[in-house]
Amino acid sequence: MTEAEMRETIPRLPAESGMKKSVHSILVIAAGVLLLGLLTAVYLNAGYMADWIRSLTGLEYGTITILQTAMLVVNLVTIPFCGALTLKISGFKLFILGYCLCIAGIFGMLLIPNLAGLIICYVILFGFGSAIAGYAIVLSVILPVISEKHAGIAAAALISCGNCISLILFPILQAIDQTTPGGLVFLILGVLGLCFLPLFFYILWRKKRAESDASLKTAEEKPKTESFSLRSIAKEIFTSRRFYLLCLLGFAFGALATSPSGNLIHILESDYSISAVDASLCLSMYSLLYVVSGVILGIFMSKIKSNMLYAGVIFAVTACLHFLCFGFYMPLAATVTLTFIFGFMMGAVSPSISLLTREWIGAAKFAAVYSIVYLMLRLGGIVSTFIGGMDYALDPTYMYLTLFCFSQGIAVIAAVFALVAGIREVLRRKRALSGLTE
C-alpha cells in the first residue's frame, strides 16, 4: 500500500465549528479544574487536614505537623522526576496514576486510622500522587487538547483551582466534621474523587480528537517524530539565560503569593483588632479576586505580543503594591483595598510563567522543563513561610519585617530582569520585521 493510500485510510471525523471547539475547550478546562482542584485543595489546606486527622486518629498536632511536613517534602522532591517521566510516559497516563494514588491515600487514611496508616497513605501515597498529578503534568495534558486562544484561561484556572475548591467545599466539610463522627470527611472526599473519574474519559476523547485533527492537517507531510533525552534538555536549558529568568520569576511569585495569604489574617487581627471571622472573610475575598483576575486576563493573553514584557510590567506593578500594602501602616480601609488590588494583580501574574515556559521550550518538552520552574515556585513559598515564622518567633514587635524585605527584594529583581528581557524581545522583533520589509 502506498503512502497516499495509507492516508486515505485515516478515519476522517466531521469538522467542528469554532463555537463547538470553544465549548469543548471550556469543558476540558473545567474537567481539569475539578480533578486537579480536589487534590490541590487537600494538599493546600494543612489546617483543615490537621483538624480532621486529629478527629479521626486522636494524634497530637505536633505529630500531625511532622507528617504533613514529610508529605510536602515527598511531593517537592518528586516534582522534577515526574516532569522527566513525561519524556518516556504519556502525561495523560501519569495524570491518571497520580490521581488514583491520591484517592487511594484518602480512602486509606479512613481505613487505617493510625500513625502507620498515615505514613503509608498520606505521606507516601498522597505525597507521590499529588506530585505525579501536579500542575505541570495536568497543564501539559490540557493545553494540546484545547484551542490555542484558551491557553491563558487554562493556565490561570488550573493554577488557582485549589483555591476555588477550597473556598466552596472545605468550609462545608469543616461543618460536617464538627457535627458528625470523625472520618466522614475522608469518606466524602474519597467518594467525590471517584465521582470525578469519568472526567478522564472525556479528556481522553478530546485528546484523541485533537490528535486526529493534527494528523489530518499534516497528512501531506511526512510526520517527524522527535525524541529527547534528559541530557539534551539539560544542556539546552542550563545554558540558556531564559531558563534562569523563569526560575527567578517562579521563585518570586511563590514568595509573594505565600507572604500575604499566609500572614494576612494575623496582620489584620493584631494591627487592626479585627475578629478572626472578618479576617477570614477578607482572605476569602483576596483568594476570589486572585482566581477571577487570572481567568479574565488569561482570555486576553493570546493577544499579547510579548508575554515576557507583560510579565515584567505586572511584576513591577505587583512589587509596588506589595511595598504599599505591607511597608507602611495605613488606615484599615486603605490596607484592605490595596491588598485586594494586590491579589487581583497576583492572579494576573499566575498564568504568565507557565505560558512563557511553553512559548520558549515547546509543547513536547514543556512538562519536563516547567516542573523545575514550578519547583522553584514552591520553594519560594516554603522559604517565605519559614522566614515569616522565624521572624515572628524571634521578635514579635517587628513581625514579618525580614519577610517583607526578602519578598520585596526578590519581586523587584524579578521585575527588572523581566522588563529588560521583554523590552529586548520587542526590539529584536521590530528589527526582524524592518529587515524583512527592506
**Pairwise CA distance, residues 277 & 285, whole Å:** 12
Task: List Cα–Cα distances, 180 to 32, 173, 175, 177, 205, in angstroms.
Answer: 31, 10, 9, 5, 40
Q: How far apart are CA 293 and CA 285, in angstroms?
A: 12
Average pLDDT, the chain: 81
Residues 82/371, Cβ–Cβ less than 8 Å = yes
How confident is the model at residue 201, as a pLDDT? 94
Domain ranges of the chain: 22-211, 230-437
Contact status, residue 210 vs residue 145, Cβ threshold 8 Å: yes
Q: Which three cell numbers stand for residue 141?
A: 495534558
State the DSSP code for 90: -
Count of residues for the chain? 438
Name the least confident of 50-59, 217-226, 284-293, 389-398. Answer: 217-226
Q: Among 91-100, 168-177, 195-204, 344-353, where is mean pLDDT lowest?
A: 168-177
Asked if residue 121 lies in contact with residue 97, where contact means CB atoms within 8 angstroms, the answer is: no
**pLDDT attached to residue 34:** 92
CA distance 164 to 225: 38
Q: Pick the residue with more confidence: 249 or 84?
A: 249
User: 22-211 belongs to which homologous superfamily?
Assistant: MFS general substrate transporter like domains (1.20.1250.20)
Alpha helices in 303-400 (DSSP H): 307-327, 332-361, 366-394
pTM: 0.80
Q: Give CA–CA dist 419/334, Å, rounded.
A: 28
pLDDT at 277: 67
Of residues 284, 370, 267, the one with CA closest to residue 325: 267
Whether residue 304 is predicted with pLDDT greater than 80 in this model: the reply is no
pLDDT for 53 equals 87
Identical fold, 22-211 and 230-437: yes
**Secondary structure string (H, E, C) spanning 178-196:** HHCCCCHHHHHHHHHHHHH
Handedness of CA 31, 152, 23, 365 (dihedral sign): negative
Q: How far is CA 233 from CA 64, 79, 172, in A?
A: 39, 17, 45
pLDDT tens track for 101-157: 999 999 999 898 888 999 999 999 999 999 999 888 999 999 889 888 888 888 888
> Which of residues 135 and 2 earns the better pLDDT score?
135
Measured between alpha carbons, how far is 58 from 63 in angstroms, rounded to an integer?
Answer: 10
Q: 146 — alpha (psi -120 to 50), left (phi > 0) or beta?
A: beta
Report pLDDT digits (tens) over 225-284: 456 677 888 888 888 999 999 999 999 998 888 765 556 666 776 677 777 667 767 777
Average pLDDT over residues 339-362: 85
Could you tell me the three cell numbers for 108?
A: 486509606
Task: Report the CATH architecture of 230-437.
Answer: Up-down Bundle (1.20)
358, exposed or middle or buried, with CB in 10 Å at 0-12, 13-18, 19+? Answer: buried
Name the residue with higher pLDDT: 14 or 26.
26
Give me the mean pLDDT over the 369-394 stretch: 81
Residue 200 confidence class, pLDDT cut points 50, 70, 90: very high
Percent of the chain with pLDDT over 90: 22
The residue type of 355 is L
Classify the C-alpha dihedral 393-395-400-401 as positive or negative. negative
**178, 145, 139, 194: which is closest to 54 by C-alpha?**
178
Quote the cell numbers at residue 176: 460536617
Q: 260 with 279: CB under 8 angstroms?
A: no
* Candidate from 35-44, 199-208, 260-269, 311-320 with smallest mean pLDDT: 260-269
Q: Using CA atoms in the order 202, 203, 208, 212, what is the torsion angle rounded to 10 degrees?
A: 100
- Among all chains, which residue has been given the C-alpha cell 483588632? 273
- Asked whether the predicted pLDDT for residue 1 surpasses 70, the reply is no
Task: Give the pLDDT confidence score for residue 35 in this predicted structure.
Answer: 93
Q: Predicted confidence band at 65 (pLDDT cuts at 50, 70, 90)?
A: confident
